[in-house]
Chain A
Amino acid sequence: MITFKNLSLVYPNGTPGLKDVNVTINEGEFVVIVGLSGAGKSTFIRSINRMVSPTEGELYLDDENVLELGSKSLRKLRTKVGMIFQNYNLVNRSSVFKNTISGRLGHTGTLRSIFNLYPKEDKVKAYENLKRVNIENYIYQRADQLSGGQQQRVSIARVLTQDPKLILADEPVASLDPPTSHQVMQYLKRINREDNITTIVNLHFIDMAMEYADRIIGMRDGEVVFDGPVSEVSESTFEQIYNRPIREDDLRGSESNDGEE
C-alpha cells in the first residue's frame, strides 16, 4: 500500500513539482496517471522510490516513510520497486542477459556481482523472465541490436528479475509505435494480474489509459485533479484534466493485429 499524505515537492530552481497530493494506492491495483507533459506525472512516480525528493509531507510505502530513509535503507526499498523508463535505459554494449540479471544487483553482494557469480536460481529467474516477455531468443545479443519494443520487453524482464512488489513505469510507450505500445501495455497488465504486483504507469494517451487502467489519476500543474475507477471516466473527465478539448494526438490509436515481428 502506498500513501501520499499532503505531499509537496519544490525543485531547487523554485519550480513546483507536486502540490499537496493525497492519494492511497492499494496492493495489486493497476493505476494509470494521466496529464499533459509538465503536469507532475513523472515527479509523482519518482517520489515513490525517491528518485526525486519531496520537500514536504509524508509518503508511506508499506508503513515505511520513504522520506526518512537513509541511503542504505533506501537502496533496500528500491530493490522492491521496479522501474521502467521511456528510453528503456539498457546498457547498449551489454548482452540482453547481462542487462536482465542486473535486476538482481540490489540483492547480490558487490564482489559476487562484479565477478558475475550469480547463484544458479538467479540466472534461472532471469531466463524465465525473458521467456515471459518472449525475448529469450535474443539472450546473448547486444541490447542495442534490438528494436525499441524488444528493448522495452528486456527492461520489463530486468524489473521482474528484481522480484518487485511494485512496478513504476514512466511513459513506457512514448517512444514506441501503436502496435508495440499495446504489446508492452499487455505484458504489464498481465504481470499485474498474474503476480499481483501493484503497477503505476504514466501515460498521456487517453485511449490506452482507458483500455488498461483499473483506476485513473489525473494531474494538472502538480495537483491531483481527478482520482477514480476507470468506469467513472468519460471523455469530459479528460477534458477537465487537460483543461482543453480532446485532440487527435491525445490518442495512441487502436491495436492492429500484425504485431511487431
Chain B
Amino acid sequence: MNEILPPKPNQKKKRLRNWLIFIVIGIIYVWAFKGVYERADWSIFNNLAEKFDRVIPRLFSPDWAETEKVWGYIIETIFIAYAGTLIAAILAVPFGFWAAKNMVKSPIWNTLGKWILILDRTFPELILAILFVITVGPGPFAGVLTIGLTAFGMLGKLYAEIIESIDMKVVEAMEANGANKLQILFYAIFPQVLPEFLSFALYRFEIDIRASTILGLVGAGGIGTLIVIAAANRNWEQLGLILFGIIIVVSIIDFASTKIRKRLV
C-alpha cells in the first residue's frame, strides 16, 4: 500500500522541528505552573466556601419587591441597544458601500473607507463609553452613542463584505439596458444585499443587548447602573433579580432574532 504514494519530502527535518516545538512548549508550561504554585497566595481559598455560602444563596433568592424598578432599567437597556444598533445599521450602509472593492473604483478612496471602519473598531467599548459620559454627561444617551459607534464599525465591515460578494452580472445586465446608477442600486444591488444587512443588524442587536448591560458600570445608563449600586451595597437579593432579568431578556431576544434571521436569508 505504501508504494502507491510517493515518499513525503523532508520527513526528518519536519520531525526534528516538531520535537523542538514540543520541548519548548513543555518548558514554558513547567516554568509557568511552577511560578504560579510558588507565588500564589493560597490563603484566599481558606474561607472561600464560607464566602460563597454568604453570597450564593442570597443571589438565588431574588428580591421580587424590586421587580418594577429592575424592569424599568432593563427596558432602558433594551432601548439603548435598539437605538444604538439602529443608528449603526443605517450609518453603516454608506460606509459599507464606500469600503466595498466592487463599488469604489479608486483603490485609494476605497482603502480610506476601509481604514475609517478599522479605526472605529479599535476603540474598546468601555473607553468610548467613558468618553461619551464625559462629553454628553452620564445617562442613557451616552450609552446609545457608545453602542452606535462600536456597532457601526463592525456592521460597516460586514456590509462591505456582503456587497463584495454580490453577483455583479445582474449589475451588468442593468447597465446594458440603460439604467442609471441609482436604478442599478435599487434594482440589482439592494435586493441582493438588504436581507443580509438586516440579518447582521439583528445579530449585532443581540450582541448590543449584552454590551449595554455593562455600560452602566461607567455611568452610561441601563441596568449596569443598578448592578454597581447593588454590588456596592452587598444587596445580593437585588443583584440576583437583576441577573435573572438579564438572562431572561437576553435569551428571549437571542431566540427571536435567530428565528427571524433564519427566515430572512
Contacts and interface: CB of A to CB of B under 8 A. Distances in A.
Contacts of A108: 183
A102 interface: yes
Contacts of B167: 89, 92
Contacts of A49: 176
A162 B195 CA distance: 28
A145 to B, nearest CB: 15
A208 interface: no
B187 A78 contact: no
**B: contact size bracket:** 20 to 34
A47 to B, nearest CB: 13
B170 interface: yes
B183 A105 contact: yes
B182 A89 contact: no
Interface in A92-133: 92-94, 98, 102-103, 105-108, 110, 113-114
A114 B181 CA distance: 12
A105 B177 contact: yes
A83 B179 CA distance: 13
B34 interface: no
Residue in B177, B183, B188 with the greatest tally of chain A CB atoms within 10 Å: B177
B192 interface: yes
Interface of A: 49, 51, 75-79, 81-83, 85, 87, 89-94, 98, 102-103, 105-108, 110, 113-114, 155, 158-159, 162
Interface of B: 167, 169-170, 172-180, 182-183, 186-188, 191-192, 195
27 contacts: A49-B176, A51-B172, A78-B175, A78-B177, A79-B178, A82-B177, A83-B176, A83-B177, A85-B172, A89-B167, A89-B172, A91-B170, A91-B191, A92-B167, A93-B192, A102-B174, A103-B177, A105-B174, A106-B177, A110-B182, A110-B183, A113-B186, A113-B187, A114-B186, A158-B173, A162-B177, A162-B178
